[in-house]
Structure 1
Amino acid sequence: MKTKAYLYIISAAVCWGLIGLFVRTLAAQGFSSMQIVALRSLAAAICVTLPLLQSGSAALRIRLRDLWLFVGTGICSLVFFNYCYFNAMQQTSLAVAALLLYTAPVFVMLMSLLCFGEAFTRTKALALLLTFSGCACVTGVFGSSLTLTLSGLLYGLGSGFGYALYSIFGKYAVRKYSSLTITAYTFYLALAASWPLADFDYQRLAAINLQAIGSTLGLGLLCAVLPYLLYTKGLEQIEAGQASILATIEPFVAAAVGVIFFAEALTPVKIIGMGLIFAAIAVLNIRKA
């Protein structure tokens, strides 16, 4: 049973790792970071609504008192972490911003201890150490000159905290709702929050070309709906802390995308980092957490 959950989480991370393919295309056409978030949320909301309608009205029903769960996954997590992450990238190097984003498993472990009573074991500590070291190698921190302001640090840590919140709110939500319902309302709330902040030029938006439409659909379906469905499904069967560590295969995939599609260098340090991330996953699978 847990093997399936591991595969769900890892598959979700692989999908998230492909996001750079579509984001770079949209950014090259002049869309801002928040506009890309809003377009992704719009495409995801549309894509997830189709299977919801086929599932019947029951899948669309939520209790009003449970709305806070989806405010948590959609606004507190999805919109907040993107806002912080994009600001961190502007105020520090991309490598440092990415590394600070992957403090998320630490936040998940601490919050899971408080919210769910999940034990913080030596196995998890080892997996966290391997994960953080691997992410540092893959993002290129060891080979870059570190420039870090206080605001850059706070935005970076905020992105990691926001990223972690999905695992926490999602763990509560799977006790009451299906992964399809959770994913749908996550993006409905994310769309409601991000669209007013995007400041679109609607004349320009109306003239959007096929390449941008394809990239938006790729972001919405392949890099949003599918991975969030898989990740939420995995949360039904394993601890939030384990899921968060497994999901850090994402920077490995992102690095591979950079090498294959954008001719980015594959350095020995990056290879070591990829190996460390895989080692963290192996530790969680081989030893009982």
Structure 2
Amino acid sequence: MHKWAYLFIAAGAALWGVISIFVQFLYSCGFTALQVVAIRAISSALLLAGYVAWRNRSLLKIAPTDIKYFIGTGLFSIVFFNWCYFTAIKETSVSVAAILLYTAPAFVTILSRILFKEWLTTRKVTALLITFLGCSFVIGLFPSTGDSVSLYGLTIGIGAGFGYALYSIFGKFALKKYHTLTVTTYTFLVAGIGILPVSHLWTSAHLFLDWKVIGYSIGLGLFPTVLAYLLYTYGLSHVESSRASITATVEPIVAACVGIILFGEMLTIWQIFGILLVIAAVASVQKPEQKREPKAFT
């Protein structure tokens, strides 16, 4: 079962990595970044709500006062992170946007230290430094090359990582009271409701007359969102979370391959080296700490 569990986790992470296929197509049709975020949030919310209602309707019950948790996961995380990520894809490239997204563990580590008083160990600090170094190679900051990423692209890409990290922070509070399916469903419901008024999606309603647009919109909510989540969660139920996180680092690799194969993106040897550094840092920080390893900071 464990071998199959790892396969499910890898499959879920790989589906996250192909999100650019749907995003780039919707961009080519004329949708803005905010509208693509709205499409993902709304389609995902409808699919998740339908799935949960079919499997276990009781999971849809929450206390009205707890909506604050899902404002955090839905608006402050999902909406902000998706807008930054989709904008970074357009501003930089699929590969660079994906690896900048993986600065999230660094933000989680720092925020967890501040909010939850979690220890900053030697391994975590080292991983943060390696992440920073890897991102420097990816964006062309070091060594200096003509392929460097713009300041806006860098900022928006790191913003995606920060928004992505907020899900782990807000989600930690919500998961103390609710099932993971409940948290995910209401996260996307709040995200969809919150972003719809500012996305002006109705101004592009005529684009949905094309069946391809409808298909890609549903696909955006189904494959790199709902199905990816279900596969990852199923695998996670059979293996340790740290090992699952390590397996999930296939996501930026898949994203980079999609960018190169489908969109003709080119990576320098330094950018490839930077990607490998970030993946190594993410993997190392997820490994269980040795009992005798000294704490670096308190």
TM-score in same-fold range (> 0.5): yes
Q: Which residue identity is paired with 1:104?
A: A
Shift in CA distance, 246/21, structure 1 to aligned 2, threshold 3 Å: same
Match of 2:64 in 1: 64
Match of 1:171 in 2: 172
Match of 2:203 in 1: 201
Shift in CA distance, 56/99, structure 1 to aligned 2, threshold 3 Å: closer
Match of 1:268 in 2: 269
Secondary structure of the structure 2 residue equivalent to 1:201: helix
> Per-residue displacement from partner, 1:60-108 (whole Å, max 9, x unpaired)?
0011222111111111101122344556678x75588666544322221
Shift in CA distance, 273/14, structure 1 to aligned 2, threshold 3 Å: farther
Distance 2:172 2:128 in 1: 20
Match of 1:129 in 2: 129
Match of 1:50 in 2: 50
Is contact 1:8–1:231 with CA below 8 Å preserved after alignment? yes
Is contact 1:103–1:161 with CA below 8 Å preserved after alignment? yes
Deviates more, 1:177-186 or 1:269-278: 269-278
Match of 2:189 in 1: 188
Deviates more, 1:75-84 or 1:29-38: 75-84
Deviates more, 1:174-183 or 1:227-236: 227-236
Secondary structure of the structure 1 residue equivalent to 2:119: coil
Match of 2:296 in 1: none
User: How far is the alpha carbon of 1:244 from its aligned partner?
Assistant: 7.9
Q: Which residue identity is paired with 1:75?
A: L
Match of 1:148 among 126, 138, 151: 151
Secondary structure of the structure 1 residue equivalent to 2:35: helix
State yes or no: 1:217 paired with 2:195. no
Is contact 1:246–1:281 with CA below 8 Å preserved after alignment? no
User: How far is the alpha carbon of 1:268 from its aligned partner?
Assistant: 2.5
Match of 1:252 in 2: 253
Q: Which residue identity is paired with 1:259?
A: I
Aligned residues: 283
User: How far is the alpha carbon of 1:167 from its aligned partner?
Assistant: 0.8
For the aligned residues, what is the CA RMSD?
3.7
User: How far is the alpha carbon of 1:146 from its aligned partner?
Assistant: 4.9
Secondary structure of the structure 2 residue equivalent to 1:264: coil
Distance 1:145 1:138 in 2: 8
User: How far is the alpha carbon of 1:116 from its aligned partner?
Assistant: 2.5
Structure 1, gaps ≥5 residues long: none
TM-score, length of structure 2 as denominator length: 0.77
Match of 1:15 in 2: 15
Match of 2:77 in 1: 77
Is contact 1:5–1:238 with CA below 8 Å preserved after alignment? no
> Per-residue displacement from partner, 1:92-144 (whole Å, max 9, x unpaired)?
75588666544322221111112333221111222333334444445666542
Q: Which residue identity is paired with 2:123?
A: T
Match of 1:118 in 2: 118
User: How far is the alpha carbon of 1:177 from its aligned partner?
Assistant: 1.4
Is contact 1:259–1:265 with CA below 8 Å preserved after alignment? yes
Is contact 1:9–1:243 with CA below 8 Å preserved after alignment? yes
Secondary structure of the structure 2 residue equivalent to 1:276: helix
Distance 1:131 1:11 in 2: 25
Shift in CA distance, 9/123, structure 1 to aligned 2, threshold 3 Å: farther
Match of 1:31 in 2: 31
